[in-house]
Amino acid sequence: MSRVAAHPLAKTYARALLLTVAPAGRRPMLEQLQNLVALWQSQPRAVELWLSPLLNVTQKQALAQALVTDKATLEFLHVMATQGRLNILPAVVTVFESMVLEAEGQMKIQLQCAQDLSTSEKMAWGAQLQKYFGKVIVLETETFPALLGGVRVLSAEGVLDLSVRGKTQALRQFLLKQN
């Protein structure tokens, strides 16, 4: 799960997408937008060019047409370019993905662990999280040794820190407040 900084307008644009795109078209649009964001992240100079005020909206549209084939996706990118909001596209895509999954009764969870998990451990975590959230879980795992032990559960709803590091920090904060 990408930890993109939240932007106040990301949810507004993502909701507009969800409401204007037919359910059958949401996944293809999401995939095209994710591919575009992945391209941006792998090619920082392309992002600089796309966001540059030296390019007008028409030039940015031509650039989008070279990268995206879906008409609805192009229209959405045009709206964002016209409003000068292309800089928040990664955040919009992250929120849109969560909304699409929610509409499909699913939830994306990133599980950060101090050590690699086996396949059976991943399945067990997925089952427990599914029971807890009441949704089909799309689970991604990430090894994060700084946690020392335990896990952190990251979702669109927030972060649940069950790590040794998180508990140690919480204890530290509690003790500091007591003095």
Domain limit, last residue, from 36, 71, 101 = 101
96 and 17 in a common domain: yes
The reply to whether 93 and 65 lie within a common domain is: yes
Residue 126's domain comprises 105-178
User: Which pTM does this prediction carry?
Assistant: 0.74
State the average pLDDT over residues 35-39.
90
Identify whether the C-beta of residue 30 lies closer than 8 Å to the C-beta of residue 106: no
Quick one: how far is CA 130 from the chain centroid?
19
155 in the same domain as 140: yes
- Please give the pLDDT value at position 46: 76
Do the domain assignments include residue 4?
no
On whether residue 1 sits in a domain, the answer given is no
pLDDT on residue 143: 93
Measured at the CA of 41, the angle between CA 35 and CA 46, to 5 degrees, comes to 95
Same domain? For 63 and 94 the reply is yes
Q: pLDDT confidence of 2, banded at 50, 70, 90?
A: very low
Return d(Cα 178, Cα 58) in angstroms, integer. Answer: 60
With 70 as the cut, is the pLDDT of residue 4 above it?
A: no
Q: How many structural domains does the chain have?
A: 2
